[in-house]
Amino acid sequence: MKVKALRYKKEFNDFQEFVLIEEYGGEPMVFTSEIPKLQPETATIEDMRKYIENNDYYEDLEINWDKLELVEFDLIESGVVGADIRNKLTPPLNLVALLRIYFSETDDKEDDVRNKEKLLPYIKKEMEQSEKSVKYISNLL
C-alpha cells in the first residue's frame, strides 16, 4: 500500500526529518520526528497547504512550505517481503540443482545422453520461472 508523509527537503535538513503538525497544550505546532504521520496516497502538498491556510485553528501557525515535500512510501508488513523473496528464489535454486545433474558425467555416456534429454524440459521450465522471479524481485525495491 502506498502512503505519503510530509518531511523537510534535503537541502534544509540533512536528516530529512518528518514534519508533524500536531496540537500541543491546546495550540497547533510544527514538530519534527523520525516517525512519519501517514497521509493517504491521494494527498498533495498543495491541498495540505490550502487546508492549513484556510482553517482558523491554524491561523497563528507559520510554516515555510518551500522547505517541505510530500514523499511517497510503500507500507509493507514486516516479514512479508522476506518470505516473498524466499519463495521467489526457489526456481533459481531448482535450476542450479538441475544444471548440476545435467553437467555431471558418469561412465555410461549413452545413459548420460538419455538422462540429459529427460532433464531439458525441466531445465527450460525452471529457466522461465527463474526469469519471472528475478524480474519480480528486481521490481520490489
pLDDT at residue 141, rounded to an integer: 61
Residue-range domain boundaries for the chain: 2-74, 80-138
**Ordered DSSP codes for 78-123:** TTHHHHHHHHHTHHHHHHHHHHHHHH---S-HHHHHHHHHHHHHHH
Q: Residue 71: what are its φ and ψ, rounded to 5°?
A: -110, 150
The cell numbers describing 6, all together, are 510530509
Q: What is the pTM of this model?
A: 0.57
pLDDT at residue 52, rounded to an integer: 93
The cell numbers describing 46, all together, are 498543495
What are the per-10-residue average pLDDT scores of the chain (141 residues)? 94 92 90 93 96 92 94 84 87 94 81 84 96 89 61
